[in-house]
A and B are shown apart, each in its own frame.
Chain A
Amino acid sequence: MYLLNRKQRHTVNSTWMIISLLLVALLPFLLFIGLYLKSVLLLHDYSLADLIFSKVWRPSAGKFGFYPFIIGSVWVTVVAMLITAPICLLTAIYVTQYTKKFFLRIMHPAIDILAGIPSVVYGLWGILVIVPFISRYLGPWLDVKTMGYSILAASFVLSIMIIPFVLNILIEIFRSIPTELKEAALSLGATQWQTIKHVLLRKALPGIIAAFGFGLARAFGETMAVLMVVGNVVRLPKSVFDPGYTLPALIANNYGEMLSIPKYDSALMFAALLLLAVSLFFNLVMHFFIVRYNKY
């Protein structure tokens, strides 16, 4: 029935397992080294601080200033988190503390669907709904001039995209808080809201910070949806109604021409390296928050 006997099959299987494991464990290092080797050409000619803080982006003249893109990314990400954070926190408390179990059974598929919608479709929805809403209603109402394609539009689309991600972690965290803790507070005469405010939130704080941090890292690297609604103008944005440009959008927009201008490909790989570093850093820090949370 089998070509090999049991022992041989065991050897083959375990070897394959170890090879796969090594490949996966080395992946983050491979990514880092690969991108670093590609961007070293740029780092050789310009100092790191120069690249990050210079404001002029003119690849054909050999000027590579990433500052506008970094600032654009930070704006979009921070505003998106400001929208997502309260919504997710409130929803997570509501579905875990106030509602019956069956409500979670409605919420879970909804969250799954939100998580499953591809980013291009989010971007398309942003163009269809959010951009016209901002240019036609929100802009005139607040008396600002805007085309709709703006930091705000990108942030809004992005905030919806990371809701499922952040919400899932938050729900897990609130559910893992032992019931005894809540019961103790309630038995001392605290109301439900007081229990939530003084006991649950305090206990969950490291976890909540971690959830937001993971969300932030995810938002920072999101490409297509942001690219489609952010306007893609290389300029320092003055308000959320201005168009901007983000690091991932920079990479995605220019891959076609990057082999035609010297060092351009190296610059784009440097942008990818920056993204990778930010993502690894955030995930690393947040991981320690989660570890701390689990220890309590």
Chain B
Amino acid sequence: MTRSQKIEEKFFKLLMILATYFILAILAVIIYSIFEKGFKSISWEMLTQVPHGGYYYGKSGGILNAILGSLALAFGATLLAFVIGMPVALYLNVFLIRHKKVISVIRFLLDLVWGIPSIVYGAFGFSLMIFFGLQTSLLAGILTVTLFILPIMIRSMDEILCTVPIGLQEAAYSLGSNKSEIAFKIFTRQSISGIITAVLLSFGRGIGDAAAVLFTAGYTDHLPNGLLEPVATLPLSIFFQLSSPVPEVQNRAYASALVLTLIILIVSLFSRGLGKRYHKTKINF
């Protein structure tokens, strides 16, 4: 090996190490700056009160409306996406298991849908809303976010369900089960950890997305009451507070960002923890 080759190898290895630590460093910087700014301005009042009059000019109040609104929205959307998504994932892996072509077409469609930007869902949700004569409301927000997280939910469940060995299915058939029993009683139990991960992942996506709810969920200073009322969401509340020229309000935006980031971090921690915990109930082959 010549010297220049050696230098080349060393050079690229150095670049690789730099790139890798760059990513880790950026993550650290992001987390640090959000936490540092957020913890400085967060207060109990912010978490437990709704905005009072003049909140956006620096007067008292909090973001409870946005916290509860976001939770309600993400919870509703995740539930709906679960009700639609899990049957699809199960259908692919139990009913269509012998039709590889059909499966791959559907997976391809799902991947296409996954790639569509959330603002497009927002625009689509908005035109649906106008079409059905709905106002901006929690319901419209939930429907839009459901469409947006549905492919994420199905594809991540599918990843797990397609690892269930065919032998388990055959054993169940030989004991007299029908297809839907295999799907809902055996596959779900075997892949419970993956299903939980998929649900929590979708929840995290749903709660963090702003573009899809911008048109459809609206914004309000009141607590969410009822499906047909507009609802505040955390990402939008961060966005609105940040565009205010008043420094105190901007500080609250940092605090709200901290709240949102914490919710998402907790959800992702939970999904790791629960995933490990239910691993035990799995039959190993």
Residues of A within 8 A of B (CB): 6-7, 9-10, 13-14, 16-18, 20-21, 23-25, 27-28, 30-31, 34-35, 37-38, 86-88, 90-91, 93-95, 98, 107, 109-110, 112-114, 116-125, 127-129, 160, 163, 167, 191-194, 214, 217-218, 220-224, 228, 248, 251-252, 255, 268-269, 271-272, 275-276, 279-280, 282-284, 287
Q: Which residues of B contact A87 (CB under 8 A)?
A: 19, 22-23
User: Chain B: which residue is nearest A167 at the CB level?
Assistant: B23
Is B187 among interface residues, defined by CB-CB distance under 8 A?
no
Is B1 among interface residues, defined by CB-CB distance under 8 A?
yes
Main secondary structure of the interface of B (DSSP, over half): helix
Contact B19 A86 (CB under 8 A): yes
Q: Which residues of B contact A276 (CB under 8 A)?
A: 116-117, 120
A90-B16, A255-B215, A275-B120 are known; give 9 further A-B pairs, CB within 8 A.
Answer: A20-B84, A24-B106, A24-B154, A86-B19, A110-B27, A121-B208, A122-B30, A124-B253, A280-B116
| Closest Cβ–Cβ distance, residue B263 to chain A (whole Å) | 10
| Closest Cβ–Cβ distance, residue A64 to chain B (whole Å) | 16
Cα-based distance from A255 to B108 in the complex (angstroms): 32
User: Chain A: which residue is nearest B116 at the CB level?
Assistant: A279
Contact B123 A268 (CB under 8 A): yes
| Closest Cβ–Cβ distance, residue A46 to chain B (whole Å) | 19
Contact A223 B88 (CB under 8 A): no
| Closest Cβ–Cβ distance, residue B19 to chain A (whole Å) | 4
Is B283 among interface residues, defined by CB-CB distance under 8 A?
no
Contact B12 A252 (CB under 8 A): no
Q: Which residues of A contact B92 (CB under 8 A)?
A: 21
Contact A120 B257 (CB under 8 A): yes
Residues of B108-144 whose CB lies within 8 A of A? 108-113, 115-124, 126-128
Is B228 among interface residues, defined by CB-CB distance under 8 A?
no
Q: Per a CB cutoff under 8 Å, which of B12, B18, B34 touches A193? A: B12
Contact B128 A124 (CB under 8 A): no
Q: Per a CB cutoff under 8 Å, which of A34, A120, A192, A214 touches B239? A: A120
Interface 9-mer from B57-65, B165-173, B177-185: B177-185
User: Chain A: which residue is nearest B272 at the CB level?
Assistant: A109
Q: Which residues of A contact B265 (CB under 8 A)?
A: 113, 116
